[in-house]
């Protein structure tokens, strides 16, 4: 259950029955890690635990930590559940990221969004599976302090009302992806467009899912030559929440009913963080039992 907890990120309760409570006062990645940590206490047979901020952040992988072993175990459980090595490898293969690119804060940021994990937790997961070494991890953690600059570089030239939200850089490699984020996120869609053959990407379905288009531009790839490809960049804003299934198509406007040259599907749920109460799937399950 999600509650507006004071001074706690989450709790695991075992009496009278087992249950997990997660704060509503934090962003979605923190809620997810907290839930996984509390689930870890349950799965590992621990007694009740009330977890403050330092347990879920500082104790992450700290060797010789002053924290209770059970907290380190619960964090290890959460990391293995949310950011396992096979998932990191899968995202790298899909995006065409080489291992050396894991030193790039933009790459790690985009990886973290796709795993539903915070930037810091992603750095520690990469360190844990030896995707990066300790000095690289330290440099990335420094870059994390200037995350706003990373967001600005991705969202340029658009400036949102504030920078609380995340900035997703979506390309055709993300076809079929789930965008699960917060209600103030920006989505930057960057696709190749075969404009000289009359093809144009259609972005109308973004608005239907609640994503308002803020910028729409084109730039040529390299030298201008006939038959060249341009990059179309659209910046859309969730602006209070967006959800739905979006299918984007590259087609000739006068052949709108024809087969698209390219298409991309996205499942959008930009409604986080989770508000107080139960998740809708939990409510539905309880109603079915009743
Ligand atoms: Zn704990």
Q: Residue 109: pLDDT above 80?
A: yes
Q: How far is the CA of 223 from the centre of ligand 1 (A)?
A: 56
Give residue 224's pLDDT band: very low, low, confident or very high (50, 70, 90). Answer: low
Mean pLDDT of the chain: 92
Q: For residue 266, how many other CB atoms are within 10 A of its CB?
A: 23
Q: Residue 94: pLDDT above 90?
A: yes
Q: What is the pLDDT of residue 195?
A: 86
**Residue 242: phi, psi to the nearest 5?**
-145, 140
The model carries a pTM of 0.92
Q: How far is the CA of 74 from the centre of ligand 1 (A)?
A: 6
Residue 179: half-sphere exposure toward Cβ, Cα within 13 Å: 35
Q: How far is the CA of 82 from the centre of ligand 1 (A)?
A: 16
Q: For residue 221, how many other CB atoms are within 10 A of its CB?
A: 12
Q: How far is the CA of 49 from the centre of ligand 1 (A)?
A: 5
- Provide the angle, in degrees to the nearest 10, between the axes of the packed helices 105-115 and 119-128: 100
Q: How far is the CA of 115 from the centre of ligand 1 (A)?
A: 21
Least confident piece of the model among 126-140, 197-211, 224-238? 224-238
Give residue 67's pLDDT band: very low, low, confident or very high (50, 70, 90). Answer: confident
Give residue 243's pLDDT band: very low, low, confident or very high (50, 70, 90). Answer: very high
Q: How far is the CA of 67 from the centre of ligand 1 (A)?
A: 10
Q: Residue 212: pLDDT above 80?
A: yes
Least confident piece of the model among 64-73, 132-141, 262-271? 64-73
Q: How far is the CA of 172 from the centre of ligand 1 (A)?
A: 39
Q: How far is the CA of 38 from the centre of ligand 1 (A)?
A: 6
Q: How far is the CA of 47 from the centre of ligand 1 (A)?
A: 10
Is residue 44 within 8 A of residue 89, CB to CB? The reply is: no
Q: How far is the CA of 106 from the centre of ligand 1 (A)?
A: 30
Give start-end residues of each CATH 2.60.40.2020 domain in the chain. Answer: 152-272
Q: What is the pLDDT of residue 210?
A: 96
Q: How far is the CA of 61 from the centre of ligand 1 (A)?
A: 14
Q: What is the pLDDT of residue 259?
A: 87
Q: How far is the CA of 10 from the centre of ligand 1 (A)?
A: 8
Q: How far is the CA of 169 from the centre of ligand 1 (A)?
A: 33
Q: Which residues of 227-247 are buried (b: 16+ CB within 10 A; e: fewer)?
A: eeebebbbbbbbbebbbeebe
Q: What is the DSSP letter of 83?
A: S
Instruction: Match domain 152-272 to its CATH number in 3.40.50.300, 3.40.640.10, 2.60.40.2020, 3.30.230.10.
Output: 2.60.40.2020
Q: How far is the CA of 11 from the centre of ligand 1 (A)?
A: 7
Give residue 41's pLDDT band: very low, low, confident or very high (50, 70, 90). Answer: very high
**Alpha carbons 54 and 35: distance in angstroms, whole number:** 15
Q: Residue 222: pLDDT above 80?
A: no
Residue spans of beta strands (DSSP E) within 86-195 = 167-170, 177-182, 186-193
């Amino acid at each position: 259950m999600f509650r507006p907890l004071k001074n706690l990120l989450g709790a695991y309760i075992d009496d009278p029955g087992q249950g997990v409570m997660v704060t509503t006062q934090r962003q979605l990645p923190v809620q997810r890690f907290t839930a996984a940590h509390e689930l870890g206490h349950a799965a590992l047979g621990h007694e009740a635990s009330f977890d403050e901020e330092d347990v879920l952040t500082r104790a992450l992988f700290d060797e010789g930590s002053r924290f209770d072993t059970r907290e380190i175990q619960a964090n290890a459980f959460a990391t293995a559940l949310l950011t396992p090595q096979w998932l990191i490898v899968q995202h790298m293969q899909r995006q065409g990221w080489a291992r050396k690119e894991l030193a790039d804060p933009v790459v790690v940021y985009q990886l973290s969004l796709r795993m539903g994990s915070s930037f810091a937790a992603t750095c520690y997961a990469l360190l844990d599976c030896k995707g990066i070494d300790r000095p690289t991890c330290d440099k990335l953690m420094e870059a994390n302090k200037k995350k706003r600059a990373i967001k600005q570089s991705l969202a340029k030239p658009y400036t949102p009302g504030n920078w609380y939200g995340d900035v997703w850089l979506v390309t055709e490699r993300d076809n079929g992806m789930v965008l699960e984020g917060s209600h103030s996120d920006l989505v930057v869609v960057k696709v190749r467009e075969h404009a000289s053959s009359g093809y144009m990407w259609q972005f109308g379905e973004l608005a239907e899912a609640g994503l308002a288009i803020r910028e729409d531009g084109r730039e040529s790839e390299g030298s201008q030559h006939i038959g060249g490809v341009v990059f179309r960049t659209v910046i859309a804003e969730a602006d209070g929440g967006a959800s739905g299934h979006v299918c984007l198509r590259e087609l000739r406007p006068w052949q709108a009913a024809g087969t698209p040259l390219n298409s991309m599907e996205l499942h959008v749920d930009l409604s986080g963080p989770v508000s107080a109460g139960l998740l809708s799937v939990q409510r539905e399950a309880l109603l079915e039992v009743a």
